[in-house]
């Protein structure tokens, strides 16, 4: 029996679960494999900073970051399994309430957010911190999927194919700029563009958007010295290796010292307070140093297999909504992996983009695994091949 996205939303939970098959085992095992390697790399990369932490946040406990990441990995696996059992109609039904919640949380960040490194990007909840920008990425995918299904035959018109999407995106990006969080804004725009392309928006609108983006970048480089200095540092990081270029120079040293086979797990040297953010945004550099070119290539191969499997699931979904959700989440994963690796290798200017399943961050890991759970949920309803 085949049913489209609109009918799927009307099915009761019991009916959908009764007809559903098993989740995609290949996708699930790939996620677990990457998660396992990621948690181990957090252990290896973080213990020097945890032990020597000058702020004494860790209390000198070398396993501080590892234990927290391990706990969130276990919780996230549970969230992924739970999300995989919820029918896709559930995500369709609550897409806009989730979007509304995300907007409220983003609006609170500039006022009561936790400040770090000159930006307010987190909300403190008890002893934990939540980064609403991570929620915004998923909110865009879910809400855009619903709207694309709703305006399926009208996606080439400005009123239905551009205006509602631009309104949502403009509001979210505007709130992110207030933090400021430009890297999340870029990812959000890229994911939104991919969703609209899949939805059938005319190519002319993309040409106009790229033109506007180019003009915006020109204005940014002209009137904001911080942005232009970032570009200069990116072009020649060694010219300011003790100042603005320090982080990327240390990253390149870290990657280069790994050679072909690496120094061995735990034997890296740059993590001893030379490389900043070694257990977070620049954890892939530590992977290169300790596991070498071969190990880093295998990690990227696992990511590539996961991304390809995600698109395979998307192409075999029964409903348009499931297809859009899977394709959007998989595209988000692909964008974040590419941008993180490009930044740590100086292919792109340095900015704060984490590596999924690897970079330290509990709530971000929970959300990422929840997104994988949505893909697994859709995989239960794939067309038989």
pLDDT by residue (tens digit) across 233-252?
A: 788 888 877 778 899 999 99
Any residues with CB less than 8 A from the CB of 297 and at least 6 apart, and which? none
Which has the minimum average pLDDT: 7-11, 46-50, 168-172, 363-367?
7-11
pLDDT tens digit sequence for 288-326: 999 999 999 999 999 999 999 999 999 999 899 999 999
Parse the chain into domains and list their residue ranges. Answer: 5-239+319-330+361-379
How many other C-beta atoms lie within 10 A of the C-beta of residue 170?
10
CA–CA dist 42, 38 (Å, integer): 6
Do strands 114-116 and 119-125 pair parallel, antiparallel, or not at all (unpaired)? antiparallel
Q: Which pLDDT does position 14 carry in this prediction?
A: 43
**pLDDT recorded at residue 8:** 41
Q: Confidence class of residue 215 from pLDDT cuts 50, 70 and 90?
A: confident
Is residue 338 very low, low, confident or very high in pLDDT (cuts 50, 70, 90)? very high
Averaged pLDDT score across all residues of the chain: 87
Q: From edge to edge, which strands make up the β-sheet containing 128-130? A: 114-116, 119-125, 128-130
Q: What is the pLDDT of residue 274?
A: 92
- Looking at the predicted structure, is the pLDDT value of residue 65 above 80? yes
Bridge partners (DSSP) listed for residue 125: 128
Q: Give pLDDT tens digits for 96-149.
A: 999 999 999 999 998 888 777 666 777 887 667 888 999 999 999 999 999 999
* Whether the predicted pLDDT of 206 surpasses 80: no
Cα diameter, the chain: 64
pTM for this entry: 0.90
Structure tokens at 72: 């969130």
């Amino acid at each position: 029996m085949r049913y489209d996205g609109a009918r799927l939303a009307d099915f009761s939970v019991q009916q959908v679960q009764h007809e559903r098959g098993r989740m995609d085992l290949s996708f699930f095992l790939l996620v677990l494999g990457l998660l396992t390697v990621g948690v181990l790399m957090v252990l290896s990369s973080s213990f020097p900073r945890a032990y020597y932490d000058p702020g004494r946040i860790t209390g000198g406990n070398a396993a501080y970051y590892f234990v927290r990441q391990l706990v969130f990995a276990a919780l996230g696996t549970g969230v992924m399994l739970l999300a995989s059992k919820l029918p896709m109609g559930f995500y369709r039904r609550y897409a806009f309430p989730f979007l509304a919640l995300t907007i409220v949380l983003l609006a609170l960040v500039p006022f009561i957010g936790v400040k770090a490194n000159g930006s307010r990007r987190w909300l403190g909840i008890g002893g934990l911190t939540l980064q609403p920008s991570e929620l915004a990425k998923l909110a865009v995918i879910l809400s855009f999927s619903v709207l694309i299904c709703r305006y399926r035959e009208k996606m080439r018109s400005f009123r239905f194919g551009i205006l509602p999407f631009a309104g949502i995106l403009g509001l979210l990006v505007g709130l992110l700029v207030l933090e400021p969080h430009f890297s999340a804004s870029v990812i959000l725009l890229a994911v939104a563009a991919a969703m609209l392309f899949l939805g059938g928006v005319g190519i002319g609108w993309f040409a106009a958007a790229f033109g506007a983006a180019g003009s915006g970048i020109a204005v940014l480089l002209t009137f904001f010295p911080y942005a232009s200095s970032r570009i200069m540092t990116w072009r020649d990081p060694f010219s300011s290796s003790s100042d603005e270029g320090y982080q990327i120079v240390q990253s390149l040293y870290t990657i280069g010292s790994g050679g072909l086979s690496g120094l061995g797990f735990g034997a890296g040297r740059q993590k001893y307070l030379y490389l900043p953010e070694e257990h977070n945004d620049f954890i892939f550099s530590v992977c290169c140093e300790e596991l070498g070119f071969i190990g880093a290539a295998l990690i990227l191969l696992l990511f590539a297999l996961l991304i390809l499997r995600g698109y395979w699931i998307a192409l075999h979904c029964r409903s348009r909504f499931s297809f859009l959700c899977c394709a959007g989440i998989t595209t988000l994963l692909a964008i974040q992996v590419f941008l993180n690796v490009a930044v740590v290798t100086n292919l792109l200017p340095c900015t704060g983009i984490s590596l999924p399943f690897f970079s330290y961050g509990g709530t971000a890991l929970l959300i990422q695994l929840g997104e994988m759970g949505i893909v697994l949920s859709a995989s239960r309803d794939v067309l038989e091949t």
